[in-house]
Structure 1
Amino acid sequence: MSNADDEFHNFMTSRWPSLVRTAYLLTGSHYDAEDLAQNALARAYVKWNHVRRSDDKAAYVRQIMVHAHADRFRRRTVREWFTPRLPETPVADQTAHVDRRDALMDALGRLPARQRSAVVLCYFEDMTHAQVAAALGTRTSTVRSQITRALAKLREDGLLAPLTEQPTATPAGLRRPVQQKGTIR
């Protein structure tokens, strides 16, 4: 194996859980999440010499994954419906409670693809608006409006309250990134 192959292998094995978690939040299905993460890594491998020179390899591959998800979403002819049933294999999403996970996936499943991507990258990957804009290939103002609209829709539908009400500590997935101002209400 060459040095580039070793470097890609090390990157892939270290980032796999995070990529699958993000893909799961984007797709709502463990199986689709693994396919999406694998597809993103396959695309990254083809461009690895370019990816390895980037400032943030993980952000580059996340961007590939978001674009691959958008491509899958456009080509899908049969609409899939998310169910409250959890996958048999646990996903490393750090969501401790089944009912909260169901509420989370239901809420994310009701959002349009661009809003869902912006919310997942901002709140679950702790990316700044600028990083989300770079990953989605759009402007920062567009990201802010997508997130604002998504949160407004979740509030309007009454889906945000079950996610933010917590008897104990805040799970990592519901924290707002430190670099951002404001709160989820």
Structure 2
Amino acid sequence: MDRDDEAAFAEFVTREWSRLVRVGYLLTGDVGRAEDLVQQALVKVHRHWSRVHRDGAPYAYTRAAIANESTSWWRRRRVAEDLGDVPAHADRSTRDAYAGVDNRDELIRALHTLPPRMRAVVVLRYYDELSEAETAQALGMSVGSVKSQTSRGLDRLRSVISESAAPSSSLQTNGA
């Protein structure tokens, strides 16, 4: 790789690092693992940088590499992780300064109950705001698969979130 390509790659990594790590975090649920995932993907991107850069879509290529690397990691591991219990909130309707953080935490925990490929589809569709066609291209699947994975993923997320909300309603007492 020549100096111009090296400089362009370094500038790309500097500019997009935070954004790529956020995608990695949404896929893995762990900042350290997300950073490792991004680094592994960037090693692969670096090998093909002159072509990737010339094609004009380095972020999309790198994002796809992160999603694929995440799926490969989960396939290798095949071990379920316990992310801990989602804390029950006595009153979810209360609006306070911490409600947004609690909701975001609950959503991230729910997101990590999805299988890796389904999670990748949901993250790319709703976090990175890709179209169905763009998501299909990034993950190397058909648009129909993206649609079905999205639908099933959103149904599962709704189910997990409603299940975690159910215990909070049982905290109300009859005499209150």
Fold shared by both chains (TM-score > 0.5): yes
Residue 118 to residue 159, structure 1, CA distance change in 2 (3 Å): farther
Q: Judging by fraction of residues, say which structure has more helix.
A: 2
1:12 alignment partner in structure 2: 13
User: Partners of 1:160 and 1:148 in 2: how far apart?
Assistant: 18
**What does 1:151-162 align with in structure 2 at a 5 Å threshold?**
151-159=154-162
2:44 alignment partner in structure 1: 43
Deviation of 1:56 after TM superposition, in Å, equals 1.4
Give the counterpart letter for 1:38 in structure 2: Q
Structure 1 equivalent of residue 63 of structure 2: 62
Q: How many residues end up aligned between the 2 structures? A: 153
2:22 aligns with 21
Distance in 2 of aligned mates of 1:115 and 1:5: 34
Checking the alignment, whether the CA contact within 8 Å between 2:38 and 2:66 is kept in structure 1 is: yes
2:110–2:161: 8 Å Cα contact kept in structure 1?
no
Kept in 2: contact 1:118–1:132 (CA 8 A) = yes
Q: Deviations over 1:86-135 (max 9, x none)?
A: xxxxxxxxxx8321222111110111111110000010011111111011
- Does residue 148 in structure 1 map to residue 126 in structure 2? no
Counterpart-to-counterpart distance in 1, 2:146 and 2:79:
28
Q: For structure 1, which runs of at least 5 residues remain unmatched after alignment? A: 86-95, 163-185
Q: Which segment is superposed worse, 38-47 or 148-157?
A: 148-157
The ranges of structure 1 where at least 4 consecutive aligned residues each deviate by more than 4 angstroms after the TM superposition are: 159-162
Please name the residue that 1:137 is paired with: 140
Aligned to 1:99: 102
The aligned counterpart of 1:110 is: 113
The TM-score normalised by the length of structure 1 is: 0.75
Q: Which residue in the other structure is 1:53 paired with?
A: 54
| Residue pair 2:106, 2:161 contacting (<8 A) in 1 also | no
Structure 1: which amino acid aligns with 2:137? A
Distance in 1, matches of 2:16 and 2:156, equals 32
Q: What amino acid is the match of 1:136?
A: L
CA contact (8 A) 2:37 2:66 kept: yes
Bigger CA radius of gyration: 2
Q: Which residue of 2 aligns with 1:71?
A: 72
Q: Equivalent residue for 2:34?
A: 33
Q: How far is 1:142 from its partner?
A: 0.8
